[in-house]
Amino acid sequence: MKNIEQAPLRKLLAVFAHPDDESFICGGTLAKYASEGVEITLVSATRGDMGRRMGNPPYLNRESMAAARELELKQACECLGIRQLHFLDIRDKTVEFIDPDHLASRVEELIIEVGPDVILTFHETLGGHPDHCAIGKATTAAFQRAGRGALYFITFGDVMERPKRFGYTREDVVKIDVSSHLREKLAAFRAHRCQTEIDEWVWLPDQEALTRFGDYEYFLKGDRKALQRDSHDLF
């Protein structure tokens, strides 16, 4: 019989743009896989230093923001069970201006170093923010070069409950049940304090705040290997 020690270590590499992308968009999924023993490596292209939310009442400025958001991201990682964190040290809101080939090479190096089974990033046109789309495009190129793992794109809320609107079918979508991991997700939202202080619902009593989360997070399959996999699991 196979026991847990003999099972190969599963690895997930998430390449996003800003501190909070991991928690706000797919925190439940990351917490779920971390709780199952998956080794998660998070890459944040920037430190979110150009964010417009300065705390409530404001206590940050342009100078202090990067360090504050780095610390908050580390705390969010603890809430979610993410042990490896890398920054690409790119200035917030400038990812789209980095040479795409250079950016892809940096991500490719990380893919080779980590050796992930699953890679998460933004879709290069559905990412919603220029930094998101740029890091998604570079990570997709890096994935194609490195030829390692299966690629998935993170999506917002439950928009992929109706994939046809975006030219996709149900078969292109993975729907992850995160209902058992909403507490970790809420803790991660609260860790990103300067970004969430203004959102009153985040600070309601747990039972009330938790009702704001959906039970599912959705991912778009980004390559053939992902397409062959289950529709309720990334691995």
Distance CA 233, CA 135 (A): 24
Q: What is the DSSP letter of 20?
A: T
> How near is the Cβ of 112 to Zn ion at its closest, in Å?
25
Distance CA 188, CA 77 (A): 7
Edge-to-edge strand list for the sheet holding 118-122: 84-90, 39-46, 11-16, 118-122, 150-154, 216-221, 173-177
Q: By Cβ distance, which residue is nearest to Zn ion?
A: 18
> How near is the Cβ of 76 to Zn ion at its closest, in Å?
13
Verify binding: residue 69, Zn ion, rule CB under 5 A.
no
**CB 168, CB 175: distance < 8 Å:** no
Reference 35, options 182, 221, 212; nearest CA is 182
> How near is the Cβ of 71 to Zn ion at its closest, in Å?
17
The helix (run of H) or strand (run of E) holding residue 177 is: strand 173-177
Verify binding: residue 72, Zn ion, rule CB under 5 A.
no
Q: Between 21 and 124, whose beta carbon lies closer to Zn ion?
A: 21
Task: Name, in order, each residue with C-beta under 8 angstroms of 61's C-beta and a sequence gap of 6 or more.
Answer: 54
Question: Pattern of binders to Zn ion over 10-49, x per CB under 5 A?
Answer: -------xx--x----------------------------
Reference 152, options 138, 172, 132, 128; nearest CA is 172
Which residues within the stretch 146-165 sit at the binding site for Zn ion (CB under 5 A)?
Answer: none
Q: Between 122 and 213, whose beta carbon lies closer to Zn ion?
A: 122
Q: Between 17 and 104, whose beta carbon lies closer to Zn ion?
A: 17
> How near is the Cβ of 4 to Zn ion at its closest, in Å?
35
Q: Between 117 and 121, whose beta carbon lies closer to Zn ion?
A: 121
> How near is the Cβ of 21 to Zn ion at its closest, in Å?
4
Footprint of Zn ion (CB under 5 A): 17-18, 21
